[in-house]
Amino acid sequence: MDILNNREIAVVFWLIVISIFFLSSSKMTKIRNSVKRMLAGLFFRQIISVLFLMVTYMVIIIYWLSELDLWNIEQLKNTVFWCISVGLMSLFQLDKFKMDKSFFKKSVIDNFKLLAIIQFIIGVYTFSLWIEILIVPFLALIITMLAIAEAEKKYYQLKVFLEYSLSLFGVALIVYTLYMLITNFGEFGKEKTLYDFFVPPLLTLCYLPFVFFMLVYTTYQQVFITLKFATKNRFHRYAATFYALILFNFRISLLERWVNEVNRATIKSHSDLVDTFRHIFEIRSSEKNPKEVPKEHGWSPYKANDFLVKEGLSTGFYNRLFEDEWYALSPMQEFSDGIIPNNIAYYVEGTEGVAKVLKLKVNVNDATRTRQACEKLETMAEALSLSSLNLPLSEDMISAISGCNSYSEKIDDKTITLIVERWSNHKFNGFDLKFLISSIEKSDRHNFNS
Residue 422 vs residues 142, 245, 366, 379, 431: alpha-carbon distances, Å: 39, 48, 11, 22, 4
Beta bridge partners of 419: 434
Q: Are 66 and 60 in contact (CB under 8 A)?
A: no
User: Under DSSP, is residue 409 helix (H, G, I), strand (E, B) or coil?
Assistant: strand
Q: Where are the domains of the chain?
A: 6-213, 231-288, 301-448
- Model confidence over 278-314: pLDDT tens digits? 988 888 888 888 788 888 889 999 899 999 999 988 8
Write the DSSP string, 291-319.
PP--TTT-B-HHHHTTTTGGGT------E
Domain at 301-448: CATH code? 3.40.1410
How is residue 4 annotated by DSSP? S
pLDDT score of 446: 45
The distance from CA 391 to its chain's CA centroid, rounded to whole angstroms, is 33
pLDDT at residue 421 is higher than 80? yes
Q: Are 97 and 215 in contact (CB under 8 A)?
A: yes
What confidence category does residue 172 fall into, taking pLDDT thresholds of 50, 70 and 90? confident
Residues 221/241, Cβ–Cβ less than 8 Å: no
Contact present, 317 and 253 (Cβ < 8 Å): yes
| Per-range mean pLDDT, top range of 177-181, 252-256, 412-416 | 412-416
Q: What is the pLDDT of residues 25-73, one digit of tens each?
A: 777 777 777 777 766 666 666 678 888 888 999 999 999 989 888 888 8
Across 10-14, 262-266, 389-393, which has the greatest mean pLDDT?
A: 389-393
C-alpha to C-alpha distance for 360 and 235, rounded to whole angstroms: 44
For the chain, the average pLDDT equals 82
Share of the chain above pLDDT 90, in %: 24
Chain segment 189-198, per-residue pLDDT in tens: 566 666 777 7
Beta bridge partners of 333: 344
Q: Which residues of 212-227 are buried (b: 16+ CB within 10 A; e: fewer)?
A: bebbbebbbeebeeeb
pLDDT at 300: 92
Q: Which positions ≥6 away from 255 have C-beta within 8 Å? A: 219, 220, 223, 244, 248
pLDDT-wise least confident of 139-153, 157-171, 259-273:
139-153
Which of 123-132, 166-175, 319-328 is the least confident region? 123-132
Beta-carbon-side half-sphere exposure of residue 71 (alpha carbons within 13 Å): 21
What phi and psi, each to the nearest 5 degrees, are found at residue 355?
-90, 125
What would the pLDDT profile of 93-122 be if each residue is shown by its tens digit? 777 766 665 665 666 566 555 444 545 544
pLDDT of 193: 67
pLDDT surpassing 50 at residue 1:
no
Q: How far is CA 190 from CA 46, 70, 181, 194, 203, in A?
A: 43, 15, 12, 7, 21
